[in-house]
Structure 1
Amino acid sequence: MPNPLLSPSPLPFSLPPFALLRDEHYPEGFDRGMAEHLAEVEAIVTDPQPPTFDNTLAALERSGRTLSRVSLTFFGTSSSLATDAVQAIEEEYAPKLTAHGDAVRLDPRLYARIKAVHDDAEAMAALDPESRRLVERHLTEMTVAGAGLDDDAKTELRVLNGRLATLSTRFEKQLLADSNDLAVLVDDVADLDGLTAGEISAAAEAAREHGHDGKWLITLVLPTGHPHLASLTNRDLRRRVHEAQSARGNRDNAHDTKALVLEIVRLRAQRARLLGYPTHAGAALADSTARTPERVMELLGRLAPAAARNIETERALLEEEAGEPIEAHDWAFWAERVRTSRYAVDLAAMRPYFEAERVLRDGIFFAAEKLFGLTFHERDDLVGYHPDVRVFEVHDADGSPIGLYLLDLHTRDTKKGGAWMNSLVSQNTLLEQPHAVVVNNLNVPKPGGGQPTLLTYDETRTFFHEFGHALHGLLAHVTYPHFAGTRVFRDFVEYPSQVNEMWMLWPEVLSSYAVHHETGERLPDELVQRLVSAQAWGEGFGTGEYLAASLLDQAWHALDVEEAAAVGDVQAFEAAALEEVGLANTLVPPRYRSTYFAHTFSYSYDAQYYAYIWSEVLDADTVAWFRENGGLTRANGDRYRTYVVGIGGAADPLESYREFRGGDADITHLLQRRGLD
Structure 2
Amino acid sequence: MTEATNPLLTPSPLPYGLPDYAAIRPEHYLPAFHQAFSEHLTEIRALTVVRSTPTFENTIEALERSGELLDRVAHTFYTVSSADATAEIQSVDEQLAPLMAAHGDAIRLDGALYWRVAQVHERLDSLELDAEQRYLVERHFREMTHAGAALDETAKARLTDLNQRLSTLNTTFEKNLLGDTNELAVLFDTAEELDGLSSGELSATARAAADRGFDGRYLVTLPLFSGHPYLASLTVRESRRRIMAASLERASRGNEHDNRSVLTEIVQLRAERAALLGYPSHAAYVTADETAGSPDAVERMLRELAAPAARNAAREQAALQEIIDNSEAEPFALEAHDWAFYTEKVRTARYDIDTAALRPYFEAERVLQDGVFFAATRLYGIRFTERSDLSSYHPGVRTFEVHDEDGTAVGLYVLDLYTRDSKRGGAWMNPIVSESALRGTLPVVANNLNVSQPGDGEATLLTLDEVTTLFHEFGHALHGLFARVTYPHFSGTNVFRDFVEFPSQVNEMWILWSEVLSNYARHFETGEPLDEAVIERLRATETFDQGHATSEYLAAAWLDQALHRIGDGDELGEVAAFEAAALTDIGLLNPVVPTRYSSTYFAHVFSGGYSAGYYSYIWSEVLDADTVEWFRENGGLTRANGDRFRSRLLGVGGAKDPLQAYRDFRGRDAEIAPLLKRRGLEP
Q: TM class by shorter-chain length?
A: over 0.9
Amino acid at match of 1:172: E
Supply the distance in 2 between the matched residues of 1:412 and 1:180 (Cα, whole angstroms): 10
Q: Among residues 266, 269, 279, which one is paired with 2:268 in the alignment?
A: 266
Report the Cα distance in structure 2 between the residues aligned to 1:14 and 1:269, rounded to whole angstroms.
40
1:86 matched to 2:89? The reply is yes
Alpha-carbon separation, structure 2, partners of 1:10 and 1:344: 55
Query: Hey, what does 1:339 align to over in structure 2?
Result: 347
| 1:641 and 2:643 matched | no
Residues 28-83 of structure 1: CA deviation (Å, up to 9, x unaligned): 11000000000000000111111100000000000011111000111122111111
The 5 A counterparts of 1:68-217 are 68-124=71-127, 126-217=128-219
**Runs of at least 4 residues of structure 1 off by over 6 A?**
none
1:650 aligned residue: 655
Alpha-carbon distance between aligned partners in 1 of 2:456 and 2:446, rounded to the nearest angstrom = 27
Are 2:52 and 1:49 equivalent residues in the alignment? yes
Paired residues of 2:272 and 2:569 also in contact (CA < 8 A): no
Alignment of 1:241-280 (within 5 A): 241-280=243-282
TM-score, normalised with respect to structure 2: 0.98
In structure 2, distance between residues paired with 1:602 and 1:229: 27
Alignment root-mean-square deviation, CA: 0.7
TM-score with structure 1 setting the length? 0.99
* Secondary structure, aligned partner of 1:313: helix
Q: 2:531 aligned with 1:528, yes or no?
A: no
3-state SS in 1 of match to 2:173: helix
Match in the other structure for 1:360 = 368
Residue of structure 2 aligned with 1:228, choices 221, 227, 230: 230
Alignment of 1:421-432 (within 5 A): 421-432=429-440
* Post-superposition offset of 1:608: 0.2
SS at match of 2:511: helix
- For the residue of structure 1 that corresponds to 2:453, the secondary structure is coil
CA deviation profile, 1:328-370 (whole Å, cap 9, x unmatched)? 1000111111111001111111000000000000000000000
Alignment partners' CA distance in 1, 2:390 and 2:296: 49
How do 1:220-619 and structure 2 match up within 5 A?
220-323=222-325, 324=331, 325-433=333-441, 435-563=442-570, 566-619=571-624
Q: CA deviation at 1:642?
A: 1.2
**Contact 1:375–1:394, Cα closer than 8 Å, also in 2:** yes
Secondary structure in 1 matching 2:395: coil
> Residues 109-168 of structure 1: CA distance to partner in whole angstroms, max 9, x if unpaired?
1011001001114543x1000000000000000001000000000000000000000000
**Distance (Å, rounded) in 1 between the aligned partners of 2:456 and 2:22:** 27
Q: Hey, what does 1:37 align to over in structure 2?
A: 40
* 2: CA distance, partners of 1:66 / 1:423: 15
Give 2:328's aligned residue. none
Q: Work out the CA distance in 1 between the residues paired with 2:578 and 2:473.
A: 33
Q: Does the CA-based 8 Å contact 2:427-2:473 persist in structure 1?
A: yes
**Distance in 1 between the 2:121 and 2:288 partners?**
20
The one-letter code of the counterpart of 1:289 is: T
The amino acid of 2:184's aligned partner reads: L
Letter of the 2:619 partner, please give it: W
Unaligned runs of 5+ in 1: none
Letter in 2 for 1:637: G
Aligned to 1:2: 5
What's the secondary structure of 2:569's corresponding residue? helix
Matched AA of 1:105 = R
Contact 2:176 2:258 in 1 (8 A): yes
User: Which of 666, 672, 678 pairs up with 1:667?
Assistant: 672
* Paired AA for residue 587 in structure 2: G
Q: Distance in 2 between matches of 1:23 and 1:29?
A: 11
Residues 286-316 of structure 1: CA deviation (Å, up to 9, x unaligned): 1101010000011001000000000011011
State the SS of the aligned residue for 1:377: strand
Question: Within the alignment, does 1:66 sit opposite 2:69 as a pair?
Answer: yes
SS in 2 for 1:78: helix
Conservation of the 8 A alpha-carbon contact between 1:117 and 1:123: no
Matches of 2:157 and 2:447, distance apart in 1? 38
AA paired with 1:65? E
Counterpart Cα distance in 2 of 1:479 and 1:110: 21
Counterpart code for 2:400: F
Secondary structure of 1:615 counterpart? helix
> What are the superposed Cα offsets for residues 565-588 of structure 1, whole Å, 9 maximum, x if unpaired?
x22200110111001110000100
Conserved? CA contact 2:228–2:244, under 8 Å: yes
| Pairs aligned (count) | 673
Aligned partners of 1:545, 1:477: CA distance in 2, in Å? 37
Conserved in 1, the CA contact under 8 Å of 2:124 and 2:134? no
For residues 501-547 of structure 1, the C-alpha deviation after alignment (integer angstroms, 9 at most, x for no partner) is 00111100000000000111100000000000011101000000000
Asked if the contact 1:171–1:260 (Cα under 8 Å) also holds between the matched residues in 2, the reply is yes
Q: Distance in 1 between matches of 2:371 and 2:653?
A: 25
CA distance in 1, matches of 2:448, 2:313: 31
Rounded to whole Å, the distance in 1 between the matches of 2:67 and 2:126 is 26
Offset at 1:562?
Answer: 2.5
Match of residue 17 from structure 1:
20
SS in 2 for 1:406: strand
* 8 A contact 2:169–2:262 mirrored in 1: yes
Is the deviation greater in 504-513 or in 319-328? 319-328
**Unmatched 5+ stretches in structure 2:** 326-330
Contact 2:510 2:516 in 1 (8 A): yes
**Identity value in percent:** 58
